[in-house]
Chain A
Amino acid sequence: MMKLMKEIYIIWLREMIRYWRVKTRLVSSLAMPVLWLVLFGSGMKSTLSMGGAGAEFDFLQFLFPGVIGMSILFTSIFSVMSIVLDRQFGFLKEVLVAPVSRSSIALGKILGGSTTAMIQGTVMLFLAPLVGIKLSFGLVFALIPVMFLAAIALTSIGLVVASRMKTTEGFQMIMNFLMMPMFFLSGALFPLNDLPVWMEILAKMNPASYAVDLIRQVAFKFMDAPAFLVDNLSLELFGEKVSILMDLGIVAVFGAVMVSIGVLLFRKSD
Chain B
Amino acid sequence: MEEKKIIKVKCFRFDPHKDEKPYYDTFEVPISGKMSVQDCLVYIRENEDPSLAFFINCRLGFCKRCLIRVNGKSCFSCLTNVEEDITVEPLIKDKIIRDLWSKNS
Do the two shown chains form a genuine complex with each other? no
Contacts from A to B (Cβ < 8 Å):
none
B interface, CB within 8 angstroms of A: none
